[in-house]
Amino acid sequence: MSTLSDRVTWFGMPVALTLAIHLVVAGLLMVRWANPVTIEARTSTPVAIKATLVSADTLKAQPKPKPKPKPKPKPKPKPKPKPTTEPLPVAVTPQQKVEPEVPLEVAKPERTPEQLSQETLSDIESALASEQLTQKGSTGTVSDQVAAVIKQAVIGRWTRPPSARNNMVAVLEIALVPTGDVVGVTVLESSGNVAFDSSAVNAVEKVARFSEVKSLERAVFERDFRRFQLIFRPEDLRY
Amino acid sequence: MSEELGILELIIGASGTVQVVMLILLLASVSSWYLIVQRVMLYRRMTEELGGFEAHFWSGVDLAQIYREGNEALADGATPIGVESIFRAGFKEFSRLSQQSDIEADAVLEGARRAMRVATLRESDRLESNLPFLASVGSTSPYIGLFGTVWGIMHSFRGLANATQATLATVAPGISEALIATAMGLFAAIPAVLAYNRFAARSDSLINHYDTFVDEFSGILQRQTYAQRARRNAG
């Protein structure tokens, strides 16, 4: 045994093995942290349409001194509260707990007939959309279903800031615990508009708890909903 | 601020003290793993050598023959290790002393035993070298890691004191980064402690084998000495 090969065995091997062990451990640690599920909240913005209509109308038609802040909370309720859409609530996902809000009811009668009809139209559209959504959800996986519900819940509580525009996209990251409580909301990618970003964050924070998540299997929850991204993209704003 | 905190970002974003602690722990881990692998190889080689030499020794070959074979290996550049070096030390001393007729038989044996004891000590030194380092890593690196964690948490809570709005998100990254130091300390310590215990046990058992061999070999030498003396007295 020559001294050179001796040195290689007694020095090189341990060094190589040591490095290998540390690199593998480091690699595992790096890899395991990532890939949250993404939920895109874009299709279901009919609510936002209504928000636009109400605020725009009330601005002109109603003698209220403060039309802006008032209508804003209104759009929150889902299509449900509309008087014209009696059968619709059935179609809408039952999770929407924001039942009819009184101010909205009050505001409505004062509208012109054509506005009303227009509203009815958009209501029907939205109802259709949410129906399709629920149908799609029920045929898809449990995860898709819950994702749709989460999407609806967030959009249902979204308050559109005046500066929101159609092409704005904010990517949020939401962290949940198994009970469905939201433990963290952060803006992953800003839309460039701080008001819009914070309105999206507020919407999630207002929901506070996605109770449907609780019924999920533990593994599914860990995989898809422990941390996920929500792409917030209102496309149907008519402004 | 993104919540997508990878370990790498946490480490890079850690405060200076915590980073120094992490560096120390990384070095401790790397060097202890180096030693672990090296020791494993050494003990394996020693055990093989012991088994091989004892089989050869008890196969009935002439002792002088074994010694000569060792000489040849020495000429090739190999250094005798383990039990062979003990044998060589004892046999060399024995043959040197027994050539001188004015030395008592007991003195010859005593000399051979002393030489073998010295060689055994040298071997046990070789087996046990670096084990204290593993013991130190095993016992101190959790504390070093804990220090880093405590420091990091102190740091992030001080940051919290300045913030008007105290949220979990303000302190969570700091605590998370600080806890990495503890994790690293444990990562370094656990293998080191396990390896230390294992190696200590193994070197003890090898040294026991060496001691046994020394006793057995002295027995053989004693028999030989007295046989030699009897022949010389008769002749």
> pLDDT (tens digit, 9 = 90+) per residue, A56-70?
444 444 444 444 444
Alpha-carbon distances, residue B220 vs A114, B109, B113, B127, B224 (angstroms): 119, 10, 12, 26, 6
- Answer yes or no: is B52 within a domain: yes
In chain A, residues with a C-beta closer than 8 Å to the C-beta of B42 are: 10
Strands ordered across the beta sheet of A182-189: A37-41, A227-232, A170-176, A182-189
Burial of A150 (0-12, 13-18, 19+ CB in 10 A): buried
Return the higher-pLDDT residue of A104 and B36: B36
Measured CA to CA, the distance from residue B56 to residue B50 in angstroms comes to 10
**B80 falls within a domain:** yes
Helices (H), A78-189: 88-91, 102-107, 113-139, 142-156
Token match 């799609």: residue? Answer: A136
Mutation target among A21, A176, A228 for the B interface, most CBs of B within 10 A: A21
Q: Which of B7, B30, B169 sits opposite A30 (nearest CB)?
A: B7
In a domain, B227, yes or no: yes
A138 burial (CB, 10 Å; 0-12 / 13-18 / 19+) is: exposed
Is residue B227 classed as helix, strand or coil in its secondary structure?
helix
- What gap in Å lies between CA B83 and CA B102, rounded to an integer? 30
> What tokens were used for A94?
């039952």
Percent of chain B with pLDDT over 90: 46
Report the number of distinct structural domains present in chain B.
1
pLDDT at A195 over 70: yes
Per-residue pLDDT reduced to its tens digit, B42-70 = 999 999 999 999 898 888 888 888 888 88
- Domain assignment present for B223: yes
Average pLDDT over chain B reads 87
DSSP 8-state assignment for residue A176: E
Whether residue B194 has pLDDT greater than 90: yes
Of A22, A184, A227, the CB nearest to B169: A184
Is B152 inside a domain boundary?
no
Query: Which whole-number Å values give the CA distances from B151 to A216, B7, B10, B19, B145, in the listed order?
Result: 39, 18, 15, 11, 10
Which of A3, A183, A184 minimises the CB distance to B77? A3
Residue type, B136: S
B150 found inside a domain = no
**pLDDT tens-digit series, residues B116-151:** 999 999 999 989 988 999 999 999 999 999 999 999
Task: Classify residue B180: in a domain, yes or no.
Answer: no
Interface predicted TM-score (ipTM) of this complex, two decimals:
0.71
pLDDT at A90: 38
Question: Which domain, by its residues, includes B199?
Answer: 13-144+188-234
